[in-house]
Amino acid sequence: MGGLNNLPSLHHDLLTNSGLERQIFGEAIAIGQISPGPNGLWVISPGLSHLWLLGSLLALIAIIIPPMLILPLEVVYHRI
């Protein structure tokens, strides 16, 4: 599964715990839908609205880290 399956839980967590505004969350989803590429890139937009460039870079790094950790493990797995 992929796409926006985790959107309800993210909506609840981000609006409740981080203080993200409903309008910014909606705009981030809209930007993610009209942007080319993977749907997960919508998280960069709220980062931009909170901490400007630093927030967007931190959000991008947070998206990139898990796949970058899995790739070396996948190479080792195929060698075994």
3: Cβ contacts below 8 Å, ≥ 6 apart? 39
Residue 2: the pLDDT is: 56
Residue 74: the pLDDT is: 92
Residue 54: the pLDDT is: 94
Cα distance between residue 1 and residue 6, in whole Å:
10
pLDDT tens, residue order, the chain (80 aa): 456 777 888 888 888 888 788 998 888 888 888 888 777 778 888 888 878 899 889 988 988 999 899 999 999 999 88
**CA nearest neighbour of 39 among 30, 48, 50:** 30
Residue 58: the pLDDT is: 92
Whole-model pTM: value is 0.67
Cα distance between residue 44 and residue 61, in whole Å:
10
